[in-house]
Amino acid sequence: MADEIREHVADGIQEFDNPLPRWWLALFYVTIGFAAVYCVFYPSLWTWSGTLGWSSQKQYEAQMAGVKTAPVAPAVAVDVEKLSKDPAVVAEGKTLFAANCAVCHGEHGEGKVGPSLTDATWKYGGDAHTIVKTITDGRPGGMPVWGKVFGPDQINKLAAFVITLRDSGKQGATPPQPVARP
């Protein structure tokens, strides 16, 4: 069977009039069918909202409602001051500190980009509850929220280690107090 040559010529090139492959045509028709079914169920035209009633706004609101109702585990479940006296807990807290906090606060808490944790004056105070809250929720100006990264147990261990750092240069000193802000 001889291939037919089409009558038109473009730039001196003649085309054969070959039919499209059957697999390509089948795939093309399946794609058209899928698009038609999709247009029935989901929003596809300016005024058509689809039979399922789905919208990206509804999906977003459902996801946000799930986030708002998600239970939050309390970070202060134990006495962190008491944990700061346990060498095993402090060692685990030191490991967490070295891996995550030393970049900003320095290897020994001396302060780099972040504030020093070894002095007697802390911006938000140095009591156990405040330290746990700072680690969990972060602070404006650069302290990240670690409550989404660490569980309550790890936060308590980290806080126990930070407690051992506070006022570490002076023996028997009182815990750091909040600084009065104007």
| Same-domain pairing of 64 and 86 | no
Q: Measuring CA to CA, which residue among 133, 116, 128 is closest to residue 169?
A: 116
Instruction: Give the C-alpha separation, 138 to 104, whole Å.
Output: 13
60 plus 93 within the same structural domain: no
Residue 108 resides in a domain:
yes
Same domain, 109 and 135: yes
Residue 128, SS3? helix
104 exposure class (CB count in 10 Å sphere: 0-12, 13-18, 19+): middle
Q: Is residue 23, in this structure, part of any structural domain at all?
A: yes
Look at residues 20, 46, 68 and tell me which one is the last residue of a structural domain. 68
Indicate if 53 and 111 belong to the same structural domain. no
User: d(Cα 77, Cα 56) in Å, to the nearest integer?
Assistant: 39
Per-residue pLDDT of the chain (182 residues; tens, 9 = 90+): 566 777 777 888 888 778 899 999 999 999 999 999 999 999 888 888 889 988 888 888 888 887 766 555 554 447 888 888 889 999 999 999 999 998 988 888 888 888 888 887 788 888 888 888 889 888 888 888 888 888 888 999 999 999 888 766 554 444 555 555 55
Q: How many domains does the chain have?
A: 2
75 inside domain: no
Among 68, 98, 122, the domain boundary falls at 68
- pLDDT at residue number 127: 84
Residues 5 and 19: their CA atoms lie apart, in Å, by 12
Residues 131 and 172 in one domain: yes
pLDDT for the residue numbered 37: 94
Tell me which residue range forms the domain holding 49. 5-68
The dihedral through the CA atoms of 127, 143, 146, 61 has a sign that is positive
pLDDT at 67: 73
Give the Å distances, CA to CA, from 144 to 1, 98, 126, 127, 149. 75, 16, 17, 19, 10
The distance from CA 170 to its chain's CA centroid, rounded to whole angstroms, is: 38
Q: Which one-letter amino acid corresponds to residue 25? A: L
